[in-house]
Amino acid sequence: MMNKGMNNAHHVTISYFSDSLVLSADADNVIASQSILEILSKLSVELWDKYSILIRGGITVGKLVHKDNGPLFGPAMNRAYFLESKEANTPRIIFDQHCIDLFRETSTFSIFDSLIEVDDKYSYFSLPTCLRYITTASSLALSENKQLESARKAQTEILPKIQKIISSSISQKIKDKYIWLEAETIRTI
């Protein structure tokens, strides 16, 4: 009953289609909106660890119609799609500036400091920052369990795995993304 009550009070709507995953929450609901960051960081690590899949995306705040098993449209969806498809050209999830500013207005957002990096244009998080966050600051970091053990294992294996992919015969366009990820990993972990 408590889980149902929490879900009703701090609901995150999740939809997927094709190769896209959309998560949304009421921007005024701090627990729900910050849960999206927690979900995405854990999903990023799990997809990499189990399937060697990297993700990229965009996070914004704006008008959106997003119903469970229903419609999904609005300016926020269009902006997130633009951020993902045109701006996040490496495997990372980038924030619209007004979105990260809104997150930072909440004191509890400091929990996510180890998740977030900033470059010359965007605040973002990536697989290496997700690993850093999960193993040092997330709710998992304070407990010894299989998920934390799995994240620590993925953290020790990420660099050799990336280097193996870079040395394989892949297109230069894809190799460049892994070269970025290798540098990001060395810098952040």
Mean pLDDT of the chain: 92
Element (H, E) at 127: helix 127-136
44-57 pLDDT, tens digit each: 999 999 999 999 99
Please state which of the ranges 12-16, 97-101, 111-115, 130-134 shows the lowest mean pLDDT. Answer: 12-16
Task: Tokens for 8, please give them.
Answer: 């009703």
118-146 pLDDT, tens digit each: 999 999 999 999 999 999 998 888 887 88
Is residue 172 scored above 70 in pLDDT?
A: yes
Express as a percent the part of the chain with pLDDT over 70.
95
pLDDT at 9: 66
- Residue length of the chain: 189
> Looking up tokens 């627990």, which residue turns up?
31
The rounded distance, in Å, linking the Cα atoms of 85 and 56 is 9
Residue span of the structural domain in which 176 resides = 2-188
Count: domains in the chain: 1
